[in-house]
């Protein structure tokens, strides 16, 4: 059976891949297990050297891969080029930091000398979403491979072509069966989690993550889950309004809002509320919506009609409950939606509670920093959060229940920081030395000190 991938602008097929039959998945995993000992025994430095050879091959095909990414997923071409480039350029340096993070450590006291090793688990299932269809596989697969695991990747059924093209480049520099790819939807994902894998590394929705956690629990399989978010932005009364509104516009509408750390809830100190909304509306009005393959487009389409309908339903329900449209409308041709600014929202509305994953900025006024903190934390999610302001910004930031918090900037950290969700946005984490080590089993070997 073929899985057809559709262009969200035209609804025309971009291409297709062969769906992996569910009953073939145990055999794929068995092949990964057979390939494991030789891959493990190469050692991290040699594994890294081989994987790094994929970097220049990805860059050689930058234009072709970026066009495919845009055709399949809809994001504007410059963003697609940036995503592809980030997975090819500097791959050798990125791998060097992973190798370093995995180095053994010596622990000694007066009686004992211990070597702490970081060994591979075995077979890793990597299951990924469509919104960053190369970076999301890259962030899980590369550290898993460098750590010595063999990997079976199940990319999103929405973006199989670009993930397949990327995986084939890696396969061209790897021994047979060290990286395999299975295609399909959640049925294939479930079959892979249920197969004889040792570690499940997953990026996707909270619901699917919860399902994977319980499915893996029976055999205590290791899981790393990077899940959805409902990120707040707090604009304190001494914030630089232009910078705060500029950030809000970029971070609510980037990738048509289809980013796990999109700003989805905005809490503004009441005296600044109207001026902030006016600036946000101006910024939204300046954005160009259209086919991401055309020059000058800021917002491409939503990934599909279902995701668009999810956003429309939330916005219409909010409007029916008293919210106001400050900009945009929950309507558009095909999979398109304009940027939407909502005011007069509250936490009884789904748009302030459930992940939207669309181009919607919802703004609510607050009276005190304590109230802003309480509103921001009133969610089971805890991925990113951002505070704009000065006097109380640090104390507010420290009280936010999120894994990644930015003050007067986005939530991502300095080089070497992990990508980490708190509460129900994550279970384990990846990236940076701390994250790379999540793909390895710690073992200690001790001897008496002589």
Binding site for ligand NAD (CB under 6 A): 127-131, 136, 154, 156-157, 185-186, 189-190, 193, 203-205, 208, 211-212, 226-229, 260, 355, 357, 383, 419, 421
Compute the least distance from the CB of residue 407 to ligand NAD, in Å: 21
Judged by beta carbon, residue 97 or residue 356, the one nearer ligand NAD is: 356
- Give me 347's structure tokens: 């936490």
Compute the least distance from the CB of residue 77 to ligand NAD, in Å: 20
Yes or no: say if 105 and 115 are a contact pair by the CB < 8 Å rule.
Answer: yes
Element (H, E) at 146: helix 135-146
Q: What is the DSSP string of 196-226?
A: S-SEEEEES-HHHHHHHHHHHHTTT-EEEEE
Q: Which residue has the tokens 């040792």?
A: 198
Catalytic annotation on 354? no
Compute the half-sphere exposure of residue 28: CA atoms within 13 Å on the CB side of its CA: 23
- Give me 200's structure tokens: 């499940």
Judged by beta carbon, residue 131 or residue 379, the one nearer ligand NAD is: 131
DSSP conformation class of 411: S
Judged by beta carbon, residue 170 or residue 277, the one nearer ligand NAD is: 170
Compute the least distance from the CB of residue 169 to ligand NAD, in Å: 20
Closest CB to ligand NAD belongs to which residue? 189
Which residue is catalytic, options 260, 264, 335, 355?
260
- Distance of alpha carbon 288 from alpha carbon 277, whole angstroms: 19
Compute the least distance from the CB of residue 153 to ligand NAD, in Å: 9
- Distance of alpha carbon 130 from alpha carbon 152, whole angstroms: 17
Compute the least distance from the CB of residue 129 to ligand NAD, in Å: 3
Judged by beta carbon, residue 148 or residue 184, the one nearer ligand NAD is: 184
- Distance of alpha carbon 26 from alpha carbon 189, whole angstroms: 12
Which residue is catalytic, options 226, 264, 355, 411?
226
- Give me 263's structure tokens: 């700003």
Judged by beta carbon, residue 302 or residue 341, the one nearer ligand NAD is: 302
Catalytic annotation on 260? yes
Tell me the Cα Rg of the chain: 23
Q: Which of 326, 354, 351, 352 is nearest to 340 (CA)?
A: 326
| Residues that are catalytic | 226, 260
């Amino acid at each position: 059976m073929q899985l057809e991938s559709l262009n969200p602008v035209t609804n025309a097929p971009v291409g297709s891949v062969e769906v992996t039959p569910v009953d073939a998945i145990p055999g794929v995993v068995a092949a990964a297990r057979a390939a494991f000992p030789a891959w493990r025994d190469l050692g991290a430095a040699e594994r890294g050297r081989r994987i790094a050879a994929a970097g220049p091959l990805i860059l050689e095909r930058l234009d072709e891969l970026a066009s495919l990414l845009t055709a399949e997923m809809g994001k504007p071409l410059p963003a697609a080029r940036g995503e592809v480039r980030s997975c090819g350029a500097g791959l050798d340096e990125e791998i060097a930091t992973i190798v370093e993070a995995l180095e053994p450590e010596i622990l000694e006291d007066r009686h004992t000398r211990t070597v702490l090793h970081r060994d591979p688990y075995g077979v890793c299932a990597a299951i990924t979403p469509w919104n960053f269809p190369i970076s999301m596989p890259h962030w899980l697969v590369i550290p898993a491979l460098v750590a010595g695991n063999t990997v079976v990747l199940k990319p999103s059924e929405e973006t199989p072509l670009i993930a397949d093209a990327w995986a084939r480049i890696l396969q061209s520099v790897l021994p047979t069966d060290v990286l395999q790819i299975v295609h399909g939807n959640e049925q294939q994902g479930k079959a892979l989690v249920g197969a004889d894998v040792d570690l499940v590394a997953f990026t996707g929705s909270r619901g699917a993550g919860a399902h994977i956690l319980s499915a893996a629990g029976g055999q205590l399989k290791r899981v790393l889950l990077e899940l959805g978010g409902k990120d707040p932005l707090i604009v304190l009364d001494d914030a630089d309004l232009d910078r705060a509104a500029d950030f809000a516009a970029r971070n609510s509408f980037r990738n048509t809002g289809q980013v796990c750390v999109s700003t989805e809830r905005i809490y503004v100190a009441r005296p600044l509320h109207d001026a902030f909304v006016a600036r946000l509306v101006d910024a939204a009005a300046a954005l160009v919506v259209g086919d991401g393959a055309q020059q000058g487009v800021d917002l491409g389409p939503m990934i599909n009609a279902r995701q668009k309908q999810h956003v429309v339903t939330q916005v219409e329900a909010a409007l029916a409950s008293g919210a106001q449209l400050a900009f945009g409308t929950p309507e558009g041709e095909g999979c398109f939606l304009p940027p939407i600014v909502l005011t007069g929202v509250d936490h009884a509305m789904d748009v302030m509670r459930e992940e939207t994953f669309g181009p919607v900025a919802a703004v609510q006024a607050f009276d005190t920093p304590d109230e802003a903190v309480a509103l921001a934390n009133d969610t089971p999610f805890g991925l990113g959060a951002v505070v704009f302001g000065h006097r109380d910004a640090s104390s507010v930031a420290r009280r936010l229940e999120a894994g990644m918090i930015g003050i007067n900037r986005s939530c991502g950290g300095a080089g070497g920081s992990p990508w980490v969700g708190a509460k129900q946005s994550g279970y384990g984490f990846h990236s940076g030395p701390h994250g790379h080590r999540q793909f390895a089993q710690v073992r200690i070997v001790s001897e008496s000190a002589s």
